[in-house]
Copies of this chain bind each other. A is one copy, B any other.
Amino acid sequence: MADPEAPATELRMSIGELTEFMTAAFDRPLTWRIERSDLDGVRVRQPVQSSDLRPGGTVSGPTLMSLADGISYIAVLARIGPQALAVTTSMNINFMRRPRAVDVVADAMILKLGRTLALVEVTMYSDGGDPRDLERPVAHAVVTYSMALVGREGT
């Protein structure tokens, strides 16, 4: 198996494969749309849904946390491949602006991908269609993953 610490020169899963894997992992249709996945990271769009809103028309904090957790996992999978067992070990999230009742767009960037630990930075935006929307993040998260590569101990 290839070295996960090697510089990122390739992706191990396509957007289609990532979507399929996440759908199976969560056992339900994925509402997130993976819009981009390349060596710089991953972009995911969460279409606004009434179940994610709080009275007053704000996307709930747990919706953003859940998205930050999910996109970090997707970003790690894209680089490591589906044989990885990655478990979230921590998240630090800062809420910066009130998220409006529009789509949430999340960008994930891998800060470190080691043999046992991955560190992912996530920036989230309320995207109402104005190009300036993607300059004003609503939340920022740093997520750590502990990784156990399947077959590592057995082989």
Contact = CB atoms under 8 A, between A and B. Distances in A.
A116 B117 CA distance: 11
10 contacts: A61-B69, A61-B88, A62-B62, A65-B65, A90-B92, A92-B92, A96-B114, A117-B146, A119-B140, A140-B142
A151 to B, nearest CB: 18
B90 A90 contact: yes
Given A112-B97, A140-B119, A140-B121, A91 B92 contact: yes
A66 interface: yes
Nearest to A98: B87
- Mostly, the A contact residues are strand
B54 A62 contact: no
Contacts of A88: 61, 95
Interface in A75-120: 87-97, 111-112, 114, 116-117, 119
Residue from A26, A27, A94, A140 whose CB has the most chain B CB atoms within 10 Å: A94
Interface in A43-70: 54-55, 61-62, 65-66, 69-70
Contact of A95 (B26, B65, B89, B94): B89
A66 B52 CA distance: 12
A150 to B, nearest CB: 14
Given A62-B65, A119-B140, A137-B112, A55 B25 contact: yes
A126 interface: no
Contacts of A114: 96
A94 B117 CA distance: 11
